[in-house]
Structures are given as C-alpha cells and as structure tokens.
C-alpha cells in the first residue's frame, strides 16, 4: 500500500470546542462544529476544515465509484447559469424565492444552479444527434444553490451544498426505466458503503414534474421528512406521497339538511363537545388564498390540513392563510361557521374522505349556527378532490390496510423518471432508427453529498461525540500521545510505521495539552480506532481502543502495528 502522510494535530487547522455553538439545534451541527470539521461562514453557508474535507472527499469517492460502475460519465458544468434555458422550461419563475438570481454588469440575468436539468438537456442536444449516441448517463459533483427558507439545520440544509446530480437520456420509455433501475441499485450500494441506515420510499414528483419517483430516507430525529412504514407489507412512503382512495357512499337514507343553533362553538372542539359527537362527524373548512383568490379546503374535523400538500397542489401559485381583512371584505364568509353548502364564488377542494354521499355537521354560514346532514354531492359540490390531510400514525396502509408507523427521516437521495418535460421545453430530439426524429426521455437523480456527512453524524454519534464508519472516517487510527516526550516519540514512530503501510493516521502530538483533554477530543473526533501511547510507553506497550464499543486492549507496538495493518 502507498505511504500516506501522517496528519499531526499540532499542525491541524482545526480547534475543538468545549461548548455547543449557540445557534445549533441539531446534533450533527453541534458535533461537526465542536469537533472542528466545519465552520459557519454565513447562514446556510459552510466552510469545510481539513477533517471535514476528508470525510466529504470519502463520500464523494464512494459516490463517484458507484456512478462510474453503472457507466455514468462525470462532467463538470458551471454553477453560474444564464437565465434563458430556465425561462424556456418556466423554472426561472416557478422556482420562486428559493432561486438565487443575479445580474452581471450589463444587466444580463443569471442564476446559481439549484439543479441542472436544463443545462444537461442542452449539452446532450449539442452533442447527440442520433439514437446511436444514446442512452447516456451524465453526472457531476458540484455545489448547488438554494435560498432555503429555514437554513437552520447546519450542514443538513445548506443554501450552498454539495450534490451529486445525474441525468439519463433515452429514446424509449423502457430505456428510461432501465436507467432508473441502474441508479436505484447504485444508490443502494452507495448508502450501504457509507454505512447509512435508509429506506426507499415512494415520493411525490413535486415541482420537478414527471412520473415515477422514489426517495432514499435516512431515519433520524433531526429529519425534516416524515415517512410511513407498513409493519405488515413492503410499503414505505414519504407521508407527502400517500393518497387516500375516494370511496363514494350511498346517501339515500340521509334526511334533509337542517340548521341547528350552536352558540359559541367557533372551533371543532367546542362544537363536538356541545353536540356530543366525535370530531370526525364534523366537516372543517379552512380558508386560504391562492394567488389572491379565496379557496376553501374541506377535511374531516379530526384531521389536520397539511399546508405543504396544499402548496404542492397549487404550485407555482402562492398559497396564503386568510386574514382579518379578507373576512372584513367578504361578510358572507363567517369566521368559525363556514360551510361548503351555498358558498358563493369560492373554489371548494376537499379531501377524498369527504367522498360523495358522506354526511356532515358543518358551519351554516351564519354566526352561532351549524347545519347537520350536509351531504357531499347532494348539498354541496366539491370542485376538486385533493389529498391534503396530514397522515397520522395508524392510518391504513394503502396496500394492505394495516396501521402505518410514522418516523422522521433525512432525505439523502432522490430518483426521478422525468419523462419529456424538459426535452419538450428545450426540443431535444435525436434521429431515430427509422430516420425520423425522436423526442428524448429523461431521468434525474440526486445524492446530497454534504447532507450525507451530516446524516451519518446524526445516525452514528453517541454521547461522547462523532463515531464514523470506517469508509468515511477522516483517518483509520487516531494515535494519542499522552504527553511525556517519550510517549510523543513512540506515538510519532508508530504513526510513521502505520502510514508506511498505507494506514491513514491522525496523531495527537499537541504539546502542553493534558491527556484528559486529548482523550475527550479523540472521542469527539470519532476516528474508529484510538491508539494511546501512555503509561507503559517505556515498555513498548500501547493501548488500542475501539471508539464505538469502548473495548480496550494492551498490545506491544509490533502487535498493534500488525493488527492495524492487517
């Protein structure tokens, strides 16, 4: 094996910190800063210090190897991009406030790439002319820019972050399915090698458009996604992607709608309590504004509206909650007593649970009054059924009906079958087998490279600090010299021997730092094996400690070197 340089902590550009940074909310943020891996440069913008850069490079290497293994070709496109292609696909506007837009000195519009479908499509349009040039998979590992609304989770959600993005181009639909399957397998290998615990979950296509899409989610407390796992079958999905089937019921026996006085019952809780009915018997109507127009959203009274789902449904239109001023301008909308029957000039969308034939107690559009026996499809019309409720623990699995279990997770990868959305907009054709132009079909695939570092920290850290899996650790062995000259000499000597055999060594040779601080730091930094030149250094005996299990063993120098180079 090649000789690798020994990293000496006495020269390392990184200080460990005793205390958590004041602005840190999640574990990975606290630990990566405290252990000297990263420093915050501005909100959501991070600098990687030597140890952090090593971990990041290891993740990159694994991603690169597995992408190369499926025949993907690495390229590097610019991050600073012209506006025109994003105008052609509509994303210059649709991307909304997340897009970093800027101008050059001549007033020309540019953006910092949030993802590169347009530019890759144009590259292939320039390079490929015939079906013989396809299929092709191209990828890059590059910084992406998104002006995230809440860049609060440290490296997990940066405004500048490192992504591996790849794009497949095929002439046939089954070719796209193959490129997608290749990525799915490559991602399984990548995340297994990284040592991440993950699930593959069905996902919505979101603003990207297109058809099939799956997310790779790493279960973790700090995650911002919620996924549902079926304890009985293989169903797993991001809760955003779970939709409830519309099941119409027969309402012929339901008596006519009837107003009932219900003073002082402006909330579902007060209403259900005063009538002695479960909240699920009532219909809740939330008012929102979609690009300024009032829309009512109907859901059973015991369910919460998921505003993200409402936003996703209406995107790119902007969804806002109604205000006092909106109620003042529309006296027909009675706060707390809105019902879908007789609503005028209001679009009504409802959850599929409000299926045709279902009967409800709902607002009478008069203060202090509700109406019972209000039947969907008889007493009011639903303009559109949209799944908008928050999925709850115990909701039935869409596949087998068993109660779902919910967990938090971090999205570490995402694969999409985009289809022809981008190739249509940018007119990417190649000459087909029969001499006629064929519209190319496309997939896009992302791995959050910098996010994976934080996700790993989240999943593997313990109460002492970071605890890296071997393949991504910044070193294989952390050699600690307890302090005396002889111990430091021995530590440096072992470090040289190990390095000569290709072992990556971090050695704590800092003078004037107490052994206690060095031990604590070695646990915080999280290299998998810790080798201490301490008490018995004079006898040529060292202590080898496993960072994860804490198991220790006394070994002679020769034994230790043999063990670590095996």
Q: Which residues bind ligand ATP (CB under 6 A)?
A: 115, 146, 148, 157-158, 161, 163, 411-414, 446, 448, 450-451
Q: How far apart are CB 283 and ligand ATP at their closest, in Å? A: 31
Least distance from ligand ATP to the Cβ atom of residue 202, Å? 14
Residue whose CB is less far from ligand ATP, 9 or 31: 31
* Residue 245 burial (10 A CB sphere; 0-12, 13-18, 19+): exposed
User: Which residue is at the shortest CB distance from ligand ATP?
Assistant: 448
Compute the least distance from the CB of residue 146 to ligand ATP, in Å.
5
Structure tokens given for 430:
């190649």
- Quick one: how many helices (H) and strands (E) in the chain? 14, 30
Which residue lies nearer to ligand ATP by CB, 157 or 545?
Answer: 157
Shortest spacing between CB 300 and ligand ATP, in angstroms: 27
Considering the complex, state which of residue 224 and residue 424 has its C-beta at the smaller distance from ligand ATP.
224
Find the shortest distance in angstroms from Cβ 415 to ligand ATP.
Answer: 9
Report which secondary-structure segment, H or E, holds 527: none
For residues 364 and 359, give the distance between their C-alpha atoms in angstroms, rounded to a whole number: 14
Q: Measured between alpha carbons, how far is 321 from 457 in angstroms, rounded to an integer?
A: 37
Q: Is the separation of the CB atoms in 144 and 160 below 8 Å?
A: yes
Q: Report the sign of the C-alpha dihedral through residues 325, 328, 329, 331, in that order.
A: positive
17 or 149, CB closer to ligand ATP?
Answer: 149
Q: Which one, 62 or 532, has the nearer CB to ligand ATP?
A: 62
**For residues 57 and 346, which CB has a smaller minimum distance to ligand ATP in the complex?**
57
Q: Considering the complex, what minimum distance in angstroms separates the CB of residue 46 from ligand ATP? A: 10
Q: How far is residue 265's CA from residue 367's CA, in Å, rounded to a whole number?
A: 9
CA–CA dist 71, 31 (Å, integer): 37
**Cis previous bond, 19, omega within 30:** no
160 vs 523, which CB is nearer to ligand ATP?
160
Kind plus residue range of the DSSP H or E element containing 310: helix 307-314
Could you identify the residue written with the tokens 């840190």?
24
Min dist CB 414 to ligand ATP, Å, is 3
Q: Is the peptide bond before 316 cis (omega within 30 degrees of 0)?
A: yes
Residue 155 CB, nearest approach to ligand ATP (Å): 7
User: Which residue, 46 or 380, has its beta carbon nearer to ligand ATP?
Assistant: 46
Distance CA 94, CA 97 (A): 9
Give the nearest distance from C-beta 509 to ligand ATP in angstroms.
Answer: 35
The residue among 349 and 412 lying less far from ligand ATP, judged by its C-beta, is 412
Length of the chain (residues) = 566
Sheet strands side by side (includes 258-261) = 258-261, 369-375, 359-366
Q: How far apart are CA 413 and CA 403, in angstroms?
A: 26
Q: How far is the CB of 100 from ligand ATP (least distance, A)?
A: 12
What is the separation of C-alpha 477 from the centre of its chain, rounded to a whole number of angstroms?
32
CA 142, 143, 144, 150: dihedral to nearest 10 degrees? 140
Beta carbons of 510 and 522 less than 8 angstroms apart: no
| Minimum CB distance to ligand ATP, residue 450 (Å) | 6
In the complex, what is the shortest distance from the CB of residue 419 to ligand ATP, in angstroms, rounded to a whole number? 16
| Closest among 540, 549, 457, 495 to 156, alpha carbons compared | 457
> Are 290 and 384 in contact, with CB atoms under 8 Å apart?
no
| Cα 181 to Cα 177: distance, rounded to the nearest angstrom | 6
Nearest residue (CB) to ligand ATP, 183 versus 370? 183
- The percent of the chain in helix, strand and coil, each rounded to the nearest 5, is 30, 30, 40
Alpha-carbon span 316 to 96, nearest angstrom:
8
Closest CB to ligand ATP among 116 and 518? 116
User: Of 54 and 451, which has the nearer Cβ to ligand ATP?
Assistant: 451
């Amino acid at each position: 094996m090649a000789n690798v340089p020994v990293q000496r902590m006495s020269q390392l550009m990184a200080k460990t910190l005793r205390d958590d940074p004041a602005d840190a909310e999640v574990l990975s943020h606290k630990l990566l800063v405290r252990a000297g891996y990263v420093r915050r440069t501005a909100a959501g913008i991070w600098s990687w210090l030597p140890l952090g850069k090593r971990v990041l490079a290891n993740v990159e290497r694994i991603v690169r190897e597995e992408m190369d293994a499926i025949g993907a070709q690495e390229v590097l496109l610019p991050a600073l991009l012209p506006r025109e292609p994003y105008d052609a696909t509509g994303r210059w506007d649709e991307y909304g406030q997340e897009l970093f837009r800027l101008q050059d000195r001549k007033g020309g519009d540019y953006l910092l790439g949030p993802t590169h479908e347009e530019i890759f499509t144009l590259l292939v349009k320039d390079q490929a002319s015939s079906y013989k040039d396809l299929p092709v998979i191209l990828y890059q590992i590059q910084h992406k820019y998104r002006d995230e609304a809440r860049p609060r989770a440290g490296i997990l959600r940066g405004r500048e972050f490192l992504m591996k993005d790849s794009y497949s181009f095929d002439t046939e639909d089954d070719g796209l399915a193959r490129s997608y399957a290749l990525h799915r397998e490559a991602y399984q290998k990548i995340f297994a090698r990284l040592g991440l615990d993950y699930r593959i979950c069905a996902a919505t296509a979101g603003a990207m458009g297109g058809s099939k899409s799956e997310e790779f989610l790493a279960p973790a407390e700090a995650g911002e996604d919620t996924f549902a796992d079926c304890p009985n079958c293989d169903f797993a999905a991001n809760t955003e992607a779970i939709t409830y089937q519309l099941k119409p019921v027969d309402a012929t026996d339901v008596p006519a709608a009837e107003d009932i006085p219900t003073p002082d019952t402006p909330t579902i809780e007060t209403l259900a309590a005063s009538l002695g009915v479960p909240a699920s018997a009532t219909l809740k109507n939330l008012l929102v504004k979609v690009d300024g127009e009032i829309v009512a959203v109907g859901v059973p009274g015991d369910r919460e509206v998921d505003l993200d789902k409402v936003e996703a449904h209406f995107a790119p239109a902007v969804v806002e909650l109604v205000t006092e001023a909106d109620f003042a301008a529309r006296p027909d909308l009675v706060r707390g007593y809105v019902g879908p029957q007789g609503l005028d000039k209001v679009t009504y969308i409802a959850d599929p649970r409000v299926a045709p034939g279902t009967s409800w107690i709902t607002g009478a559009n008069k203060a202090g009054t509700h109406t019972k026996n209000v039947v969907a499809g008889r007493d009011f019309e639903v303009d559109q059924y949209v799944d908008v409720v928050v999925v709850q623990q115990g909701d039935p699995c869409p596949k087998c009906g068993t109660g779902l279990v919910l967990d938090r997770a971090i999205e570490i990868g995402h694969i999409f079958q985009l289809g022809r959305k981008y190739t249509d907009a940018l007119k990417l054709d190649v000459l087909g087998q029969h001499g006629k132009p064929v519209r190319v079909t496309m997939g896009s695939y992302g791995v959050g490279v910098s996010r994976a570092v934080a996700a790993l920290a989240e999943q593997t850290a313990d109460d002492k600090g970071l605890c890296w899996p071997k393949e991504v650790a910044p070193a294989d062995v952390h050699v600690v010299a307890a302090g005396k000259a002889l111990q430091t000499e021995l530590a440096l000597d072992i470090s040289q021997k190990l390095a000569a055999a290709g072992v990556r060594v971090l050695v704590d040779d800092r003078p004037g730092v107490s052994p206690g601080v060095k031990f604590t730091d070695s646990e915080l930094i999280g290299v998998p094996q810790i080798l201490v030149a301490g008490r018995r250094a004079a006898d040529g005996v060292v202590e080898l400690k496993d960072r994860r299990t804490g198991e220790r063993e006394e070994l002679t120098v020769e034994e230790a070197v043999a063990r670590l180079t095996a």
